[in-house]
Amino acid sequence: MTDQALIDLAFTMLGRSYVPYSKFPVGAALLCADGTVFTGCNVENAAYGSTICAERTALVKAVSEGRRDGFERLAVVGKSTDYCWPCGACRQMLYEFAPDLEVLVARGDGAFVKLPLRELLPHGFGPASLG
């Protein structure tokens, strides 16, 4: 799957976001090595700390379906004029399963950049850090 196709798929998730408080929909698409894609959207909650981001939704869907590895690329998109960067909690959770993940972040106009997760979370703390 091309980077653009993954970005486009993430954009389709914006309409599924539940964002009554922030009015800031986010979509995500997580590509596995075998071509499987898990999508996600952000789901807010009146108790703001219970909100889940789109990228964590996609990752949790993958893990709940038995995936633990093989994650290659993640697209994260929003409607804003700036790139839709993953928050710190998402970066940490993604690092747990895929420290070598490539992350595509897009603006509302469709422009995107691609960076390695290790650049977004330098010196990340993962399973190997516990040994």
Pair 38, 61: CB distance under 8 Å: yes
Strands (E), the chain: 26-32, 37-41, 71-78, 102-106, 112-116
**Residue from 75, 119, 77, 76 nearest 99 by CA:** 119
Q: Is 119 a catalytic residue?
A: no
CA distance 100 to 63: 17
Helix (H) or strand (E) run with residue 74 in it: strand 71-78
Query: At 40, is the secondary structure helix, strand, or coil?
Result: strand
* Sign of the Cα pseudo-torsion (34, 58, 95, 110, in order): positive
Active-site annotation holder among 44, 55, 65, 96: 55
Positions marked catalytic = 55
